Amino acid sequence: MSLSVNRMSDEELISGCRRRNARAQQQLYERFAPKMYAVCCRYLTNRADAEDVLVTAFTKIFERFGQYRGDGSLEGWIRRIVVNEALTFLRRNRSMFLETDLEEAGHKPDYRQLADRLEEEDLLRLISQLPAGYRMVFNLYAIEGYSHQEIAEQLGISENTSKSQLSRARVYLQRMLAEYEDVTNIKSARHESAT
């Protein structure tokens, strides 16, 4: 992605996109596409699908730019369209399966110790390994800030199913964090014994 020499102000960018100005649309895409691609990747594990959703979402953003009223942040408005497009893709491709069985995690990880070792990208990688239904509800609730009622409406499920999927996602993440902690402790012990 190239950075334009003459970067438009937010007001110029919004005005230009409303007029369907190609330069403004390009700058909007360059400014927000990397973040929105990361959003797509949180919902879709296949990178090609994430890219397709991103392109489709930006097409809709440019078509609907006249609907942006400036009430909230531009990024928030764009993010909502991207998330909705990712959910539409998952529904259309029947990739959204809500899981129902999961045993409790064997032990709870030591979150203080993990906080020193776990980077944001490691956590996002763990979230990406959640089963599709868990991942979708977890992303919508914990990252996007949707309520269970909004999630239920978005996904066509009951609020109780949303709550159940979130609970199961948390248990699943606890298990993965405990495994991560075990592996990290083993590596640390090997390093200490080697020195």
What is the rounded distance in angstroms from the CA atom of residue 64 to the CA atom of residue 62? 6
Find out whether 178 and 106 touch, Cβ atoms under 8 Å.
yes
Q: What is the pLDDT of residue 102?
A: 42
Assigned token pair, 156: 């066509």
Buried b (16+ CB within 10 A) or exposed e, 52-67: ebbebbbeebeeebee
Which pLDDT tens digits describe the chain residue by residue (195 residues)?
A: 444 447 888 888 889 999 999 999 999 999 999 999 999 999 988 899 999 999 999 999 999 998 888 888 899 999 999 999 999 998 888 655 555 444 443 444 444 444 444 566 777 788 888 888 899 999 999 989 999 999 998 888 899 999 999 999 999 888 888 887 766 656 555 656 666
Q: How far is residue 132's CA from residue 136's CA, in Å, rounded to a whole number?
A: 6
Residue 195: burial class (beta carbons within 10 Å; 0-12, 13-18, 19+): exposed
In CATH terms, the fold of domain 1-95 is Rna Polymerase Sigma Factor; Chain: A (1.10.1740)
Residue of 150, 23, 14 whose CA lies nearest to 74: 14
In CATH terms, the fold of domain 97-195 is Arc Repressor Mutant, subunit A (1.10.10)
**What does pTM read for this prediction?**
0.70
- CA 195 – CA 190 distance, rounded (Å): 9
CA 100 – CA 36 distance, rounded (Å): 30
Whole-angstrom Cα distance, residue 178 to residue 109?
5
For residue 73, the tally of other CB atoms under 10 A from its CB is 10
* Domain residue limits, the chain: 1-95, 97-195
What is the per-residue pLDDT for 101? 44
Nearest to 100 by CA among 75, 137, 69: 137
